[in-house]
């Protein structure tokens, strides 16, 4: 019986994790949950799963939840809140495995504390590796505990890596769907609307990650995550566009053999893999190999998608640069979604923030959060200065 904490239980990955737990009641026990602000969902989860502890983001929500649970005769469920509450969920003594799936930097501290407490980590929170990857991977190594990736690309890489030893890896190939603008001429990028950008061809995801997929920034984040998760230099992590997203990623070994992983595009599969690793257990998520027909590939166009180039530059520099990359992107994407800036301006804001950020190692989560706040401030300023950055400078990326 694996005893599980979920950080971000009401989000998409959190719900998929609970769905996996539902399918294998003999294998997984949900011990603690950290929800966000969705009180109804948190209440339903607490009633269904009867965790030892559940945390809400806000104290007021925690108070409401506590009294509702008491009325249901579930007063024994401890209801906590805020950052300290999330840490309590992540480090609970009865937890073996922590699914880290809180979007944004809110999950950083709790994830880091989970690793420090010797938990095995299933990582679905991008910021853990993009912003604080150096800290978290170093701590996991110190603890001798695996970090198990839950997004489909890194999960695929993890599976392919089983075909050899780490020192036998020549290169990691992350596949990218290419997003909705793969075949859109660069000249039309300035006119891209929010609705167009939210229309991702293969995955149904949250709004920010959908825009990040459209700019290929999401792939850039994945390059950074791969570098940190698998201790690879950026030059050994490459991206290849594969519009069908059938092959989730590949590993090239020094002898010239390449292993690729594919499966249905269902997040429950990498979640199940992470939760059961090093075992594999039967699931109903079958990919019909006999229905395979065509797989297409092409190299990414870094001129059309400068965000990918910026990610390589940030991870090459390391430290605060990748924190700034993530923070500036979050601000820029929010501004795009609000209609404050154009699609083409997303990479420009990020590039400006990166240029204004010192590289340099960050040796605590506190410093990561400081760097994050500073980059957000810079990015907000750039958005506010929007008028100034509009216009012909967009061509500097062409």
> x/- string (CB under 8 A) for a second copy, residues 35-74?
----------------------------------------
- For position 272 contacting a second copy by CB under 8 A, the verdict is yes
Q: Is 296 in the site for a second copy (CB under 8 A)?
A: yes
The binder of a second copy chosen from 22, 168, 188, 385 (CB under 8 A)? 168
Q: Which two tokens stand for residue 251?
A: 């590993």
CB of residue 264 to a second copy, shortest distance in Å: 6
In the complex, least distance from residue 144 CB atom to a second copy, rounded to whole angstroms: 22
CA distance linking residue 223 with residue 314, whole number of Å: 11
| Dihedrals phi, psi of 253, to nearest 5 degrees | -95, 165
**For a second copy, which residue of 112, 181, 221, 273 counts as binding (CB under 8 A)?**
273
Of 49, 262, 305, 343, the one binding a second copy by CB under 8 A: 262
Q: Which is nearer to a second copy, 60 or 285 (CB)?
A: 285
How many angstroms separate the Cα of 308 from the Cα of each of 240, 305, 364? Answer: 12, 6, 27
Backbone dihedral angles phi then psi of residue 7, each to the nearest 5 degrees: -95, 110
Q: Does 290 bind a second copy (CB under 8 A)?
A: yes
CB of 7 to a second copy, least distance (A): 24
Distance CA 218, CA 216 (A): 5
Cβ proximity of 364 and 108 under 8 Å:
no
Is 357 a residue that touches a second copy (CB under 8 A)? no
In the block, tokens 């737990």 appear at: 21
Cα(319)–Cα(132) distance, integer angstroms: 8
**The token pair that represents 238 in the structure block:** 């490459």
Question: Number of residues in contact with a second copy, rule: CB under 8 A?
Answer: 50
Task: Answer for the pair 213, 241: CB distance below 8 angstroms, yes or no.
Answer: no
Distances (CA, A) of 367 to 84, 142, 236, 279: 18, 20, 28, 37
Q: Which of 26, 166, 183, 286 binds a second copy (CB under 8 A)?
A: 286
Q: Which residue has the tokens 């229309």?
A: 199
Backbone φ, ψ for residue 317 (5° rounding): -75, -35
Applying CB under 8 A, does 287 fall inside the site for a second copy?
yes
Distance CA 113, CA 28 (A): 22
60 or 264: whose CB is closer to a second copy?
Answer: 264
Q: Which of residues 122-161 bind a second copy (CB under 8 A)?
A: 159-160
Which of 285, 355, 384, 398 touches a second copy (CB under 8 A)?
A: 285
The site string for a second copy over 227-256 (x = CB under 8 A, - otherwise) reads -----------x-x------x--x-xxxxx
Q: Burial-class residue 338 by CB neighbours within 10 Å (0-12, 13-18, 19+).
A: exposed
Choices 90-98, 264-272, 351-359, 376-384 (CB under 8 A): range interacting with a second copy? 264-272
Six token digits for residue 52: 């030892």
List the one residue from 71, 204, 294, 387 that touches a second copy (CB under 8 A). 294
Q: Of 183 and 290, which CB lies nearer to a second copy in the complex structure?
A: 290
Q: Going by C-beta distance under 8 Å and a sequence separation of 6 or more, which residues neighbour residue 284?
A: none
In the complex, the residues that contact a second copy under the rule CB under 8 A are 159-160, 162-165, 168, 170-171, 173, 238, 240, 247, 250, 252-264, 269, 272-273, 276, 279-287, 289-290, 292-299
């Amino acid at each position: 019986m694996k005893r599980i904490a979920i950080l971000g239980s009401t989000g998409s990955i959190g719900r998929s994790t609970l769905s996996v737990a539902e399918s294998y009641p003999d294998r997984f026990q949900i011990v603690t949950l950290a929800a966000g602000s969705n009180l109804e969902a948190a209440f339903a989860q607490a009633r269904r799963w009867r965790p030892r502890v559940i945390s809400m983001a806000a104290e007021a929500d925690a108070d409401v939840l506590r009294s509702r649970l008491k009325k249901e005769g579930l007063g024994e469920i401890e209801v906590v809140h805020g950052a300290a509450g999330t840490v309590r969920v992540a480090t609970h003594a009865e937890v073996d495995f922590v699914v880290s799936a809180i979007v944004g930097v809110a999950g950083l501290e709790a994830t880091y504390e989970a690793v420090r407490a010797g938990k095995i980590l299933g990582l679905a929170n991008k910021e853990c590796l993009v912003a604080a990857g150096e800290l978290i991977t170093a701590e996991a190594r110190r603890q001798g505990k695996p970090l198990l990736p839950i997004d489909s690309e890194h999960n695929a890489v993890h599976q392919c890596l089983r075909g050899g030893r780490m020192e036998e890896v020549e290169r990691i190939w992350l596949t990218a769907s290419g997003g909705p603008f793969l075949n859109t001429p660069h000249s039309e990028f300035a006119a891209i609307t929010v609705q167009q950008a939210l229309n991702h061809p293969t995955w149904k995801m949250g709004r920010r990650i959908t825009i990040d997929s459209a700019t290929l920034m999401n792939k850039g984040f994945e390059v950074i995550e791969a570098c940190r998760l698998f201790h690879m230099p950026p030059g050994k992590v490459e991206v290849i566009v594969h519009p069908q997203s059938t092959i989730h990623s590949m590993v090239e070994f020094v002898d010239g053999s390449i292993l690729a992983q594919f499966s249905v595009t269902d997040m429950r599969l990498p979640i199940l893999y992470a939760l059961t690793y090093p075992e594999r257990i039967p699931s109903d998520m079958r990919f019909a190999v006999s229905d395979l027909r065509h797989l297409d590939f092409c190299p990414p166009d870094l001129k059309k998608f400068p965000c990918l180039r910026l990610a390589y530059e940030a991870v090459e520099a390391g430290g605060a640069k990748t924190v700034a990359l993530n923070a500036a992107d979050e601000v820029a994407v929010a501004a795009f979604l609000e209609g404050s800036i154009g699609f083409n301006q997303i990479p420009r804001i990020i590039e400006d923030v990166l240029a204004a950020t010192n590289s340099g190692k960050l040796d605590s989560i506190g410093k990561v959060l400081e760097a994050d706040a500073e980059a957000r401030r810079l990015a907000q300023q750039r958005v506010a200065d929007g008028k100034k950055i509009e216009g012909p400078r967009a061509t500097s990326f062409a």
